[in-house]
Structure 1
């Protein structure tokens, strides 16, 4: 039968003649032996794992363990503060019951400490007896004692040096752990069996839904089976000595994760660095789509120009033919040729729309209100026999491009109308996906997508409508999705077709009018103007001119609701540094830099940005206020 390891360890501790207690980094009892309870006459609830250190101190103080204590609260608070900054130590002290104990404590690598208590009453008695009889000792014994004393002093000096080295190592380890905890990434180490031996407790930040305390867990337990299956081939590669860097999409959180596995040859383990690169991936997808559009524009512009010239010539020649005396049978042919040429011109305009330069310009939007307006716009284009239902549970505002989103959803609704035929139902829903995406889904009760359409519907010019369709509708919606860093998904349902436009979710600011604002702006005139805008909106304002000054104010004023900072401010650090420096407060950025500036582009990937110049109404909308400028 398998051994109960915890029971074996506890039994071993109970056999030790000294009292032992182990407390964790949260000042909770992790383990102790029966000698600890007996030595200090502790009740059961204070020797049970999880017992509070401060409560144990209070019990011992009331028992007289520390002598007369005038102010119990101050005494307990001081001892708790000392425990949080635990240092290795050795001391001897008398107890209220007349016994004498030695107390030796040492910090643990993972936080917390272990303390050993030894009853040295008998040893002290023997030392006293030797001192009283020292005059009876022979001169030779005294000399030997002096020699031993000198040796002991040397040993004590060596021990002190070793303790100092241990303290320095402990301080170094504490600084290293603090550094890893401040990193916006998960840093960890697993042994050859795949169990965590170190973690900076950031796994839950990088991959939401996972535990923070994972030391001792197997990597499959921490990540879950789906994510573990994705990383396992790379982990095995690293355990074999080959480093590996890769990305995968976590199905539980819908986040894009980049992982680096580095072999630890000394222990046959693996160092792990994992980061959430969802926003970076979304921005990269948008940039790639922009580049594709630029390439398409370059490739098609010359062809479109020549084709346009040919259509112009065809239209001119057909007009001349129409004025010439020709047989009646020629008129339908001329009319058909003119219609085809004009349709070719319309097609060129659609191609120009696709290849022309467009940008995704997000702004704060009320999703429910936007969809209500969209339903009003789209309904007249539908026959009475086709019903359009629009629903959303979303109440928070999001930052989206209303123009491109409206065009895309109208396109999907009109496609659904064509699929329904004479009668049917179209449903448009919007919902959040794990606080990472926002899905706009259009479903219909039509015939659904054919296998060929599911495979090629996003290709330019593909259509199932014959000469009535251009084949550019879904392609343009797909283009919009990629431009924003999102996705377009096609599927069939039990009753028809489903198209989901998935866009990156960026929550828009929404603050109460009486919030305290930290304004970071180095231009006195601008600072005065923006401060007046904020105070007229009901906010209280404190001001800074640099990142260092803003951080100091944020640490000293806990009531700050949010930070409004320019990107280019006083000092070497830009305002964008405040996003990472103040993770517990929303940071919004303003800038007069052009949209093409790399600093402006970077700012958009980490925070909401309000371009300058802006009005009070612009600022109110940006912060989620509903006002009317006067």
Structure 2
């Protein structure tokens, strides 16, 4: 694609105009000027560079004597600045310190700021003076000078027409640029050397909720706040020094993961591209955890097999030894201790197998209050009489996509750990809350002694335990593993009274359909027929597509589509159901289905993009993902 030559052509055209021209924006900073403007006033390069302030220019001219003798330059400059802030259309003529006479004509722009044209009219003024002095004697020369003046006026009119055309082209170019940046799913901005925004699309509060929309002229430090600005300041500093850089951080105000790219503009400013990469980060974390699990499974499977055989041999030999006659009295205790240790080794092997093999995630529409009630019921019977479990009331409307079994297992594990820390009395508290519409956060706190420094650092490491021989060291690692595979995070800490564990999972509302129009995307005709019958049996109307492009076209043409059910692997093209779900993110709920193994990278990517059904599945499995409600 060829670059748009309009900006360079416009600049060349402006430089050919005899008049000087400037455009200042609504923050009194230079946006555009041409070469005759610099030549007319003999200005240094710094004052004709975009971003130079109106105050700097007026101060320079006043100190050089452009306006004649001035008693108080600061007051003079301030008066001019105040007039510029209350800008009105004007035309004036003034004689400069060098004796030349110029006309100054200014007009406001619709988007703020103004355009000014400077014309040297010394020759015209000389003609007018000559006409006045010799009008009675030189009528013939008067006519000639009048004709010359008319020609000058015609030239000036032609120049004004050219300036109007240049203004129109500049406005169109700016409009095209702004439209393009507004269509990007990212915040695009330009800051000057002082860290003030001189350009921005209206996407900052979309990428980083809670920030203002109109930020032109504002400081980037004030707009982002101390925390976020502190995270990007090193990268921004490198960009000011001429080095392109990238920074990633989690915004504490919105809990979003943000990536910012900083590019020097060559004139002392920096271009900034900011994107919300929360979902990308969740998928990346889950994929990394899956790879770790795969490596752990490969390393432990052979060892576990051999170790299991050894334990079997030990059990057999000890059983035979126990049946031998005439054993010393102390042999019975030693044999029983050996058998007990061997059986514990077998239990440990089973726990390792559960952690490395795992099971597929099974998200379902889940009510948070119901889930917490189930956890409270299950945990109550395991707690001593003087150790209470308090479940704080939660305020969630509707249902959310979770694997309820894994969440219950994880919360029970955390509660049992808290029980072991508290002993026979105390209090355990379980809360659930939404964090900026991005995360579902479960917090378990207790009144025990809290985590030791070693536990805070290694608590999620396999086989680390503070319970001595009573602990396997696999409880928290299994919770950590499940949370990471779901795209979430687990944090250990200490509160005011004891330990605190925060478990975060992606907050995804469950789709709501009832008698809805469902788009079915499946490339195999026989399977398409099967799933169509399943959907219609649930009371839904169905429209079909065989590939991603066809599905995208249907969603654009049929606004009544309420849900998309798509296979992950679509043989009709190179694009997958994951691509479809990512393209429709935020516009339509998507459910993916696949026969891929949970360890497959494409399955992991799919599970972080949308709910996934493992093939083959039944109608009740699909129903578990849908929250139906009676038609109003």
Same fold (TM over 0.5): yes
SS in 2 for 1:242: coil
Contact 1:185 1:202 in 2 (8 A): yes
- Mapping 1:111-260, distance limit 5 Å: 111=111, 152=154, 156=158, 167-168=168-169, 170-260=171-261
Q: Looking at both structures, which has the greater relative contact order when contacts are Cα pairs under 8 Å and sequence separation is at least 6? A: 2
Deviation at 1:343, TM superposition (A): 1.4
Q: 1:443 aligns with which of 433, 442, 445?
A: 445
Between stretches 451-460 and 543-552, larger displacement belongs to 543-552
Between stretches 349-358 and 145-154, larger displacement belongs to 145-154
Contact 1:294 1:357 in 2 (8 A): no
SS in 2 for 1:201: coil
SS in 1 for 2:375: helix
Flag the 1:600–1:306 CA change in 2: closer, same or farther, 3 A.
closer
Q: Identify the residue that residue 377 of structure 1 maps to in structure 2.
A: 378
What is the rounded CA distance, in whole Å, between the counterparts of 1:502 and 1:461 in structure 2? Answer: 23
Flag the 1:614–1:330 CA change in 2: closer, same or farther, 3 A.
closer
What is the rounded CA distance, in whole Å, between the counterparts of 2:586 and 2:288 in structure 1? Answer: 33
Contact 1:563 1:585 in 2 (8 A): no
Flag the 1:517–1:474 CA change in 2: closer, same or farther, 3 A.
closer
Q: Identify the residue that residue 285 of structure 2 maps to in structure 1.
A: 285
What is the rounded CA distance, in whole Å, between the counterparts of 2:282 and 2:376 in structure 1? Answer: 29
Flag the 1:301–1:592 CA change in 2: closer, same or farther, 3 A.
closer
SS in 1 for 2:389: strand
What is the rounded CA distance, in whole Å, between the counterparts of 1:481 and 1:583 in structure 2? Answer: 22
Flag the 1:251–1:154 CA change in 2: closer, same or farther, 3 A.
closer
Contact 2:565 2:593 in 1 (8 A): no
- Mapping 1:97-112, distance limit 5 Å: 111=111
What is the rounded CA distance, in whole Å, between the counterparts of 2:355 and 2:380 in structure 1? Answer: 26
Contact 1:458 1:478 in 2 (8 A): yes
RMSD across aligned C-alpha pairs, in angstroms? 4.2
Contact 2:592 2:612 in 1 (8 A): yes
Between stretches 481-490 and 250-259, larger displacement belongs to 481-490
Contact 2:191 2:269 in 1 (8 A): yes
Flag the 1:198–1:531 CA change in 2: closer, same or farther, 3 A.
farther
Q: Identify the residue that residue 270 of structure 1 maps to in structure 2.
A: 270
Contact 2:364 2:402 in 1 (8 A): yes
Contact 2:427 2:447 in 1 (8 A): yes
Deviation at 1:537, TM superposition (A): 5.4
SS in 1 for 2:381: helix
What is the rounded CA distance, in whole Å, between the counterparts of 2:92 and 2:540 in structure 1? Answer: 65
Q: Identify the residue that residue 623 of structure 1 maps to in structure 2.
A: 626
Deviation at 1:252, TM superposition (A): 1.0
Contact 1:239 1:269 in 2 (8 A): yes
Q: Identify the residue that residue 474 of structure 1 maps to in structure 2.
A: 476
Flag the 1:316–1:562 CA change in 2: closer, same or farther, 3 A.
closer
Q: Can you list the C-alpha shifts for 1:592-628, whole angstroms capped at 9, x where unaligned?
A: 463566665544444445566655544444331169x
Normalised by the length of structure 2, the TM-score is 0.70
Q: Identify the residue that residue 497 of structure 1 maps to in structure 2.
A: 499
- Mapping 1:341-490, distance limit 5 Å: 341-391=342-392, 392-490=394-492
Deviation at 1:166, TM superposition (A): 5.5
Deviation at 1:388, TM superposition (A): 2.5
Deviation at 1:112, TM superposition (A): 7.3
Between stretches 243-252 and 298-307, larger displacement belongs to 298-307
Contact 1:363 1:402 in 2 (8 A): yes
Flag the 1:482–1:12 CA change in 2: closer, same or farther, 3 A.
closer
SS in 2 for 1:329: helix
Flag the 1:271–1:373 CA change in 2: closer, same or farther, 3 A.
same
Deviation at 1:475, TM superposition (A): 2.1
Flag the 1:541–1:339 CA change in 2: closer, same or farther, 3 A.
closer
SS in 1 for 2:433: strand
Deviation at 1:587, TM superposition (A): 3.7
Q: Can you list the C-alpha shifts for 1:441-493, whole angstroms capped at 9, x where unaligned?
A: 22223333334333333232222222222222122222222222322222333
Contact 1:578 1:587 in 2 (8 A): no
Between stretches 599-608 and 570-579, larger displacement belongs to 570-579
What is the rounded CA distance, in whole Å, between the counterparts of 1:112 and 1:524 in structure 2? Answer: 59
Flag the 1:399–1:180 CA change in 2: closer, same or farther, 3 A.
same
Q: Which runs of 5+ in 1 are unaligned?
A: 19-103, 117-136
SS in 2 for 1:381: coil
Deviation at 1:329, TM superposition (A): 2.0
Contact 2:190 2:271 in 1 (8 A): yes
- Mapping 1:4-83, distance limit 5 Å: 7-10=82-85, 13=88
What is the rounded CA distance, in whole Å, between the counterparts of 1:554 and 1:363 in structure 2? Answer: 25
Deviation at 1:366, TM superposition (A): 1.8
Flag the 1:184–1:569 CA change in 2: closer, same or farther, 3 A.
farther
Q: Can you list the C-alpha shifts for 1:28-50, whole angstroms capped at 9, x where unaligned?
A: xxxxxxxxxxxxxxxxxxxxxxx
What is the rounded CA distance, in whole Å, between the counterparts of 2:155 and 2:543 in structure 1? Answer: 60
Q: Identify the residue that residue 507 of structure 1 maps to in structure 2.
A: 509
Deviation at 1:245, TM superposition (A): 1.3
Contact 1:561 1:585 in 2 (8 A): no
Deviation at 1:576, TM superposition (A): 5.4
Q: Identify the residue that residue 47 of structure 2 maps to in structure 1.
A: none
Deviation at 1:510, TM superposition (A): 2.6
What is the rounded CA distance, in whole Å, between the counterparts of 2:160 and 2:576 in structure 1? Answer: 49
Deviation at 1:190, TM superposition (A): 0.9
Q: Can you list the C-alpha shifts for 1:196-252, whole angstroms capped at 9, x where unaligned?
A: 111122111111111222221111121111111111111111101111112111111
Between stretches 398-407 and 162-171, larger displacement belongs to 162-171
Q: Identify the residue that residue 585 of structure 1 maps to in structure 2.
A: 587
Q: Identify the residue that residue 323 of structure 2 maps to in structure 1.
A: 323
Between stretches 469-478 and 600-609, larger displacement belongs to 600-609
Contact 1:262 1:272 in 2 (8 A): yes
Deviation at 1:562, TM superposition (A): 5.3
Q: Which runs of 5+ in 2 are unaligned?
A: 1-73, 94-105, 117-138
Contact 1:261 1:271 in 2 (8 A): yes
What is the rounded CA distance, in whole Å, between the counterparts of 1:309 and 1:527 in structure 2? Answer: 48
Contact 1:569 1:575 in 2 (8 A): no
Flag the 1:113–1:538 CA change in 2: closer, same or farther, 3 A.
farther
Flag the 1:549–1:318 CA change in 2: closer, same or farther, 3 A.
closer
Contact 2:606 2:612 in 1 (8 A): yes
